[in-house]
Structure 1
Amino acid sequence: MQKLIIPEEDIVLAICMYIAEEQNMSADDVQVELFYDDYTGFSAEVVTSSGKQEWMTKQIIAALRKWIKENLHADPYAGLKLDLDRRNGIYARLRYNS
């Protein structure tokens, strides 16, 4: 079992693509900022022309699973976890069989 590290930039891209498809707009028209709080965990602020949304971990994982399936052609349910490195930011770990 190996681990694939998905950097913060790809997590943001996954959310942008998810929102863009959902709202029938370009991914370039979506702005996302990821956050981590010791009490509430991971969240994202998503801004589009139709307004601002607050996403929690569950929604971030859903967007990331779709991105993993469509772009990495990997099993998005094979142990996906968000994590934080204080120096390098937020990232995701995906366990997979090679």
Structure 2
Amino acid sequence: MRIYTDEIINAVCLHIAERKGVTPNDVEAQLSYEEEYGFTAEVWVQGRSQYLVEANLLEAIEQYMFKQYNMRVFRSQITIDADEEFWADIEE
């Protein structure tokens, strides 16, 4: 299974909203890839920004897959990649 940029951002927003006790609409996220740091996301909640590393993204995708698709996946089953768009491959 593969999910693309929009779903990855949804996963991050839902995950951060749950952790911060806000609604998902209060969260903004932007994905990026840097050679030095790998896949990251900058997240804004109530005017404050924070950076998530790839492990945080994998955790968000893991939770998203369980809650939205009722699929129990582990981080080792998720591979994030990008060219013009971001995507995550999930092994079943």
Compute the TM-score of the two structures, normalised by the length of structure 1: 0.87
Task: Choose between structure 1 and 2: higher helix proportion.
Answer: 2
Aligned residues: 91
Task: List 4+ stretches of structure 1 deviating above 2 A.
Answer: none
Q: Work out which of the residue numbers 79, 85, 90 in structure 1 matches 2:86.
A: 90
Q: Which moved more, 1:71-80 or 1:23-32?
A: 71-80
Q: Distance in 2 between matches of 1:91 and 1:37?
A: 15
1:35 aligns to 2:32 (yes or no):
yes
What is the alpha-carbon distance in structure 2 between the residues aligned to residue 27 and residue 67 of structure 1?
13
Deviates more, 1:48-57 or 1:73-82: 73-82
For normalisation by structure 2, the TM-score amounts to 0.92
Root-mean-square deviation over aligned CA pairs: 1.2
Offset at residue 37 of structure 1 (A): 1.2
What is the CA-CA distance between 1:75 and the residue it aligns to?
A: 2.3
Which position in structure 1 is the counterpart of 2:49? 52
CA distance in 1, matches of 2:37, 2:57: 14
- Listed as ranges, the gaps of 5+ residues in structure 2 are none
More relative contact order, 1 or 2 (CA 8 Å, 6+ apart): 1
Q: Percent identity?
A: 23
Q: CA deviation at 1:50?
A: 5.5
